[in-house]
Amino acid sequence: MCHMRKSLSLLTILYFVLFFSCSDKPTKNIQVVDFDEFYSKIDLSSNDTYVINFWATWCSPCVKELPYFESINKEYADKNVKVILVSLDFPSQIESKLKPYIKKNKIKSNVILLDDSKMNKWVPRVSEKWDGGIPATLIVNSSNYNFYPNPFEKEELVSEILKVID
Residue-wise pLDDT tens digits, 114-129: 999 999 999 999 999 9
Query: Which CATH class for the 27-165 domain?
Result: alpha beta
Instruction: Please tell me whether the peptide bond between 26 and the residue prior to it is cis, using omega within 30 degrees of 0.
Output: no
- Stated pTM of the model: 0.81
Instruction: Give 27-78 pLDDT, tens digit per residue.
Output: 357 899 999 999 988 888 889 999 999 999 999 999 999 999 999 999 999 9
Burial class of 72 by CB neighbour count within 10 A (0 to 12, 13 to 18, 19+) = buried
Best CA proximity match to 81, nearest among 41, 48, 43? 48
Model confidence band, residue 143 (pLDDT cutoffs 50, 70, 90): very high
Domain ranges of the chain: 27-165
* Best CA proximity match to 136, nearest among 88, 67, 75, 79: 88
State residue 115's pLDDT score.
94
